[in-house]
Amino acid sequence: MTDVKDLLPFGTANILNNDVLSRRSFMGSALALGAGAALGSFTGFSPAKAAVGGDLKIMAWEGFTLENELKAWREKNGVQVDAAIISTQDDVHSKFIGGGAVRLDLAEYSQGFERFYVDELKIVKPIDIAKVPNFTPENIQPQFYQAPTWYFEGEYHAIPWVWGLNALVYNPKMTKPIKSYKDLLAPEMKGKLTFCDDTIATWPMIARLAGFGPKFPNLTKDEMKTAFEGLGPYRDQCRVFASSNGDTISLFASGEIAACFSVWSGTPVETAKRGVETVYAVPEEGAVMWCDAWFMPKTSVNTDTAHAFMNQAISPEVQAAVCKAVTGGSVNKHAPALMDADTKALFNYADLPEVFRKSPLQGQPPRTSDKYATYDEWTQAWADFKSSF
Amino acid sequence: MAADAVDRKKIVGAALAAPTFLFLLVFFLIPTGLLFVYSFWLAKSFALIPALSLDNYTRALSSWGFYALTLSGLKNGFWTAAFSVVLSFPAAYYIVYRTRGNLLFYIILVSWFSSYLVRIYAWRVILGSNGLINTTLIQLGLISQPLEILLFSPFATILTLVHIMLPFTLLLLVSSLRDVKAEYIEAAKDLGASQFEVFRKVILPMSYKGLVGAFMFTFVLAAGDYVTPQFLGGRDGMTTGIMISNQFRSSGNWPFGAAMAFLLLATFLVVYFLFVQLLNLLKLAPGRRFHD
């Protein structure tokens, strides 16, 4: 199973087991789109109906399960989706290690995990791109199509589908507008700042503030150390660290914090639901881009339906709907035309190269390296930073 | 015939106990043994490398962070256990010796019916800048700014942990005090013992097991907890548990995580030993008679 001698990947022997994943049941609800019409609307392709159907086990972030957006498609094709929810990316690969790999037909990974999943854990099944006909250069924004985060060595390992910015979020009633990260060091911000324990959002910005932005994720150990040392004054502004996006929202809602260092740009939508206005800002130092991609684990069984599900997920109508729901950006060129004004205004679709220049899509530190600080070393440095060591 | 009956009782007893023992064997002892073996292995990017190495233990023991976080957890454990036992003992005494029903007992135990996380968030609301206490104090004109010490502090962590653990300690202490019959207390009084002497020479030694059990049970649970400190302890609220969790989830270094877990277990055993020795020193241990 592995070509690395003397190593025993956790659970390798059982990676093709069909253990049933604990899951959250889907609840039928409203807002179904005309998925049948959307299917293949730009290509004329329609997968063989006989092959699509049955149960589909997926794992996705909260709000990204397409529960509402694909309701009509599920009903039309007789697909029953069982969705497990991701709290952190670690939840995904932990399903395949430790001696009991579970069946998952589809799951999401954030950029930066591709090589780890494909080359090291070997848990990814290549995608038959012919079965995802919406994924073409004519439909997909060029910055996402065949990007090395999901396409390498001639194989499509995942299908990118929603992106966004992890940016600085603040409460305008508790602080003046923040235009630079340095504004967070103002005396009046003492005790009102937090860091979210989302390393995908935070680490690239830590590197950028230290002047190593373009080098991230490949910083030497000394550079990483310098970056964390420069973060000390920001830590001194904090009373608490938020354990998750949800915790950040809760802290904003209870008025305990005025700003969060780098967090999901959809945070203002969630705090608004709890009666607290917050805004997300891209300071002069920029923001951090994230992009989620669907991949098929090797334990995927219902692969035809998995392909069809991904194809639907990147169709213009579904993209427009899900971007509104999660305050995200679309990978489909035709989706912005279907968006309401607020959703469309979230990102500058007319000049995506500038968006990428200011907020590049960056990966994760290497799992093993003699030259650069590894993921493990970043994790340790992050824990030490939070503990003020 | 009588011997047959005894044998039959033994067999039935063993059969009834077997599922529990089997469950603990399969789901606790064997995994613990495996984890102990893993702690001497090495790992590279989520892959285990069989070895017989002390690297994980030396790495943990040479990390200042490990000591600091362990100490932080031990402080949480100690103060939580101490406050829980001290607060529970009078309540247990009252329930056992001064009331006929169990109403008070049930009222305290009813807090078990709420979720652990809900209670943590509830305390966040109560102790928060815009929470019940600060708002009340501001409205009464006693303070002009919210008291920041209330939330995101060791105080908040220990207060919440005591709230969570109190029913456990109460249950154990009530159970042990019910073994100290009122007749023993009356006998001590008849022999001239004062109220304090009755408490120190009869009640405390005879409820020794419950006391040690309540303290250690609470201590281990509170010292190992990392959710409450993370949510309520503020930026200095981290404990060893989160370091161990990171190794299993983020870094994929199970052997290092296992080594830290066993070091924490060893620390708990040392604390247990010291606590028992302290009770011996204070002449509060059972099975020994002290005559002044």
Mean pLDDT, chain B, whole residue set: 89
Residue A246 burial by CB count (10 A; 0-12/13-18/19+): exposed, middle or buried? middle
pLDDT band at B286 (very low <50, low <70, confident <90, very high): low
Of the given ranges (A13-22, A346-355, B70-79, B155-164), which has the lowest mean pLDDT? A13-22
Residue A76 burial by CB count (10 A; 0-12/13-18/19+): exposed, middle or buried? middle
Question: Helix A221-229 and helix A375-386: axis angle, to 10°?
Answer: 20
What CATH number does residue B75 fall under? 1.10.3720.10
* DSSP labels, A206-263: HHHHTT-GGGTT---HHHHHHHHHTTHHHHHTBS--BSSHHHHHHHHHTTS-SEEEEE
| Domains of chain B: total | 1
Residue B252 pLDDT exceeds 90: no
For the ranges A380-384, B26-30, B65-69, the one whose mean pLDDT is highest: B26-30
**Third-level CATH fold of A12-163+291-353:** D-Maltodextrin-Binding Protein; domain 2 (3.40.190)
Give A93-144 pLDDT, tens digit per residue.
888 876 667 899 999 999 989 998 999 889 999 999 999 999 999 999 999 9
Q: Does A376 touch chain B (CB under 8 A)?
A: yes
Closest-CA residue of chain A to B43: A7
Domain holding B115, by residue range, is 70-281
Closest-CA distance, B28 to chain A, in angstroms, reads 16
**Residue B194 lies inside a defined structural domain of this protein:** yes
**pLDDT for position B14:** 92
**Residue B196 lies inside a defined structural domain of this protein:** yes
**pLDDT for position A386:** 84
| Contacts B47 to A, Cβ<8 Å | 2, 4, 7-10, 120
**pLDDT for position B2:** 67
Residue of B64, B148, B150, B251 to mutate when probing chain A, most A C-beta within 10 A: B251
Closest-CA residue of chain A to B234: A240
Closest-CA distance, A306 to chain B, in angstroms, reads 27
**pLDDT for position A243:** 85
Dig out the tokens for B267 from the structure.
Answer: 């620390």
Contact across the interface for B243 and A383, Cβ inside 8 Å: yes
**pLDDT for position B1:** 55
Alpha helices in B142-232 (DSSP H): 154-177, 182-190, 195-198, 204-206, 208-224, 227-232
**pLDDT for position A20:** 30
Domain locations along chain A:
12-163+291-353, 165-289+365-386
Q: 């679709």: which residue's tokens? A: A349
Q: Tally A–B CB contacts below 8 A.
A: 96
**pLDDT for position A94:** 83
**pLDDT for position A47:** 40
- pTM attached to this predicted model: 0.78
Contact across the interface for B249 and A94, Cβ inside 8 Å: yes
Residue of A236, A376, A377, A384 to mutate when probing chain B, most B C-beta within 10 A: A376
Give B86-135 pLDDT, tens digit per residue.
999 999 999 999 887 788 888 888 888 888 889 999 999 999 988 999 99
Q: Is the ipTM of this complex over 0.90?
A: no
**pLDDT for position A15:** 30
**pLDDT for position B285:** 67
**Residue B260 lies inside a defined structural domain of this protein:** yes
**pLDDT for position B263:** 96
Closest-CA distance, A80 to chain B, in angstroms, reads 30
Please provide the CATH number assigned to the domain covering A165-289+365-386: 3.40.190.10
Q: Does B112 touch chain A (CB under 8 A)?
A: no
Q: Does A6 touch chain B (CB under 8 A)?
A: yes
Contact across the interface for B251 and A375, Cβ inside 8 Å: yes
Of chain B residues 32-91, which have a CB less than 8 A from chain A? Answer: 44-50, 64-65, 68-69
Contact across the interface for B121 and A97, Cβ inside 8 Å: no
Spans of chain A, pLDDT less than 50? 1-50
Contact across the interface for B128 and A256, Cβ inside 8 Å: yes
